[in-house]
Amino acid sequence: MRHYPRTKLAQELATALQGNALFGDAHNGLFLAAPRRTGKSTFLKDDLTPELERQGLIVVYVDLWADQRRDPGELIADAIGRALQSHLGWIAKTAKAAGLESVTLAGALKIDTSKIGRIDGATLGAALCALHEAAGKPVVLIIDEAQHALTSEAGETTMAALKSARDQMNAPGTVNLMIVMSGSDRDKLLRLVNNNSAPFYGSQIQRMPVLGSDFIAHIALLIQQQRPDLLQVDQVTLSQAFERFGHRPQFFFTALNDALSPFASIEGRFESAVAAAAEQRQRDDRAQMESEYLGLKPLERAVLWRMLEQEQRFRPYDAEALRFYHEKTGRKVSAQQAQNALESLRQRNPSLVWKSARSEYAVDDAAMHRWYSECVAAGIWPPMTLAAFRDMATDVAKN
Ligand SMILES: Nc1ncnc2c1ncn2[C@@H]1O[C@H](COP(=O)(O)OP(=O)(O)OP(=O)(O)O)[C@@H](O)[C@H]1O
Ligand SMILES: [Mg+2]
């Protein structure tokens, strides 16, 4: 299915970013969180970027997940370097041809021509300034999966450099550098804004809206155009199914495709088949998390449980935590053992735990928090291993 444009949302954010919303704070940095696979990157690249460009801004987009082997700080610097190169390329060439080692932009900034395209943390601010001067336009830096920047020291330094560049380039009424950061986990993004020493202290994390009823209406229209025999498409059932799919278009499209395929052997309306697939997906998602959890060693399970329960308050080695591990595993647990368990949760593939450069830990996939709360609410936490279930059944039978 082709991209469904989210023009209105892009326009609203573009206005807010430029400081034109009445009371907004987006010009100080826009932080957007939405669950995995719900269309963050697509929106940033295919809706927000063209809208900002249409409004005459220079956009630099970087995805910190694109290459996990590379340091996040380096990825950001590279993206800025590339944009700078494309704008300064001709200046550099002319300067080099003239035997000049550096060029001066707008009488203020001196750029070493041999360094264009190679930016480090220290020159990041200067590079952004140069980009703005060379292009003669405000610059928007979009950092996708920004929480990764906090997993390395270079990444943290970059964030601090960006903050200071923002403060230097912007003034009340003048916004020359806008920063957009997105991530799939609000708790992790929070670490960029939530305390005095956080680089973007004072900013708020916004929940990026997921695709909604207008998207479903668009899909229904497409189906009706191609298959008039299916008129009237039941949008309510499709909306509910999309919600069950966690607002993830990919799974939804696969189910639609299967249900509408000429080879589909479904009885009744296709919407019911899509709804059934959504329910199945929900069950599969839960079963996968449960089996992952049950596959862990007892201490790893206890640590993960504590993390799910405590969320941002999680402190892995305080007395309370050690007592908790003791209670759940039935043996005394040292801080070192808890650390080993945390590390092994982090080393798993896919990793279950995320660690910041300051050794703060969080559950890697925010969906696990939802699963945990649902299990607690339904009174079925913790999940039981088959062996534990058998023991319990034997006990019940005995009494
Ligand atoms: N507006 C849209 N119209 C059609 N398909 C979309 C739209 N937005 C997202 N999708 C589809 O949904 C899937 C996930 O999108 P995307 O990669 O943008 O999500 P994400 O939130 O960035 O995911 P991740 O958490 O993996 O980074 C892709 O297959 C994409 O094509
Ligand atoms: Mg993405």
Cα of 43 from ligand 2 centre, angstroms: 9
Positions in the chain whose pLDDT score sits under 50: none
- Asked if residue 261 and residue 165 are part of one domain, the reply reads no
Full residue range of the structural domain in which residue 360 is found: 295-398
- Asked if residue 125 and residue 242 are part of one domain, the reply reads no
Instruction: Look up the CATH number of the domain holding residue 362.
Output: 1.10.10
pLDDT score of 36? 92
Domain end call among 252, 284, 316: 284
Cα of 151 from ligand 1 centre, angstroms: 24
Distances (CA, A) of 207 to 121, 186, 191, 231, 373: 29, 8, 15, 35, 19
- Asked if residue 66 and residue 188 are part of one domain, the reply reads yes
- Asked if residue 150 and residue 55 are part of one domain, the reply reads yes
- Asked if residue 318 and residue 186 are part of one domain, the reply reads no
pLDDT score of 222? 95
Q: Using CA positions, which residue lies closest to atom 23 of ligand 1?
A: 37
pLDDT score of 335? 97
- Asked if residue 112 and residue 23 are part of one domain, the reply reads yes
Q: Which ligand has the shortest distance to the CA of 144?
A: 2
Q: Residues 334-341: contacts with CB within 8 Å, 24+ apart?
A: 337/299, 338/299, 338/303, 341/297, 341/299, 341/300, 341/302, 341/303
pLDDT score of 341? 97
Instruction: Look up the CATH number of the domain holding residue 161.
Output: 3.40.50.300
**This prediction's pTM:** 0.88
Q: Within a domain: residue 2?
A: no
Q: Within a domain: residue 289?
A: no
pLDDT score of 91? 67
CA dist 358 and 302 (Å) reads 22
pLDDT score of 110? 63
pLDDT score of 25? 87
pLDDT score of 1? 73
Q: Residues 89-96: contacts with CB within 8 Å, 24+ apart?
A: 89/116, 91/134, 92/116
